[in-house]
Amino acid sequence: MLVQHFKKVLAVVGLMLAMVSCTHCYKIDGVVETFGYEGRELSLVEFLPFRTTRIDSCIVSHGKFHMKGRVDTTRLVFLCKDNRPIIPLYLEKGRTDVRLLPTEMTASGTRQNDLFYSFLKKKIDIDNRFEEMSQKRISMSRSGIDLRKMELIQDSLRIIVNECEEMICSFMEANYKEPAAIGVFMMLSVSPTNEVSSLIKRILDAAPDDFLAQSYVSGYTHRVGYDRN
């Protein structure tokens, strides 16, 4: 009887440990429909100042790849091929679906990835509209200048730029406390100079103190000499 009771206790403990470990697990299921990936190794890499960490890796087989492991905190990493970044994604508990297609590359299924890639989709849509309007302006200028039509196109371009800025600021305002906001800020703040754009200044001016205290953000503000006070 004592042996049976001990076995039951061990079984319960084992089940509890399995449940705890699963709550901190990430799982990545990927689909690849882009040429040049079959049989190649993909890896998850975290790029930090002065340190690069390779977290996981796998081989693409029959257009699919899979990774899983433990994660204690949400981390922004890059899916890499041949040590070259392909797409950013958030490594967090739960299942992330990655799609590498000729027309788009996305990660979805977890909170931060859904936030980050929904933002990217909106921005790409606006950027495409801006590009189409810019090409139309170039075409018109080559075929002969109609000042009135050119002014209308220029007005449309300004409207698109303002729409994009408002979309970005609205996203940041709603998500300053989310890790996805740091990824968006990183993307927006990449610049070969230390000049702070009006958009970045607007984001920083409205940001709560805990966002400014994040390592990447504080490093950026120190580098460019930004001071809200």
pLDDT in tens, 29-46: 999 999 999 999 999 999
Average pLDDT on 96-124 reads 97
126-137 per-position pLDDT tens digit: 999 999 999 988
Q: Which helix (H) or strand (E) holds 101?
A: none
User: Does CATH number 2.60.40.1120 belong to domain 25-105?
Assistant: yes
Q: Kindly report the average pLDDT of the chain as a whole number.
A: 88
The rounded distance, in Å, linking the Cα atoms of 134 and 150 is: 11
Which pLDDT score is estimated for 136?
86
Q: Tell me, what's the pLDDT at 160?
A: 96
pLDDT at 8 over 90: no
- Top pLDDT among 197 and 139 is at 197
Q: Which two tokens stand for residue 192?
A: 């070969």
* Cβ partners under 8 Å of residue 32, min gap 6: 38, 60, 63, 64, 65, 100
DSSP string for 135-176: HHHHHHHHH---HHHHHHHHHHHHHHHHHHHHHHHHHHHHHT
The two three-digit tokens of residue 50, written as one number? 């002065």
Q: What is the mean pLDDT of residues 148-170?
A: 93
Q: What is the DSSP letter of 197?
A: P
Band (141; pLDDT cuts 50, 70, 90): confident
Do 65 and 56 form a contact (C-beta atoms < 8 A)? no
Mean pLDDT of 199-227: 95
Q: How many CB atoms lie under 10 A from the CB of residue 197?
A: 13
Region of poorest pLDDT, from 27-36, 59-68, 143-152, 168-177: 143-152
Say what percent of the chain tops pLDDT 70: 89
H or E segment to which residue 62 belongs: none
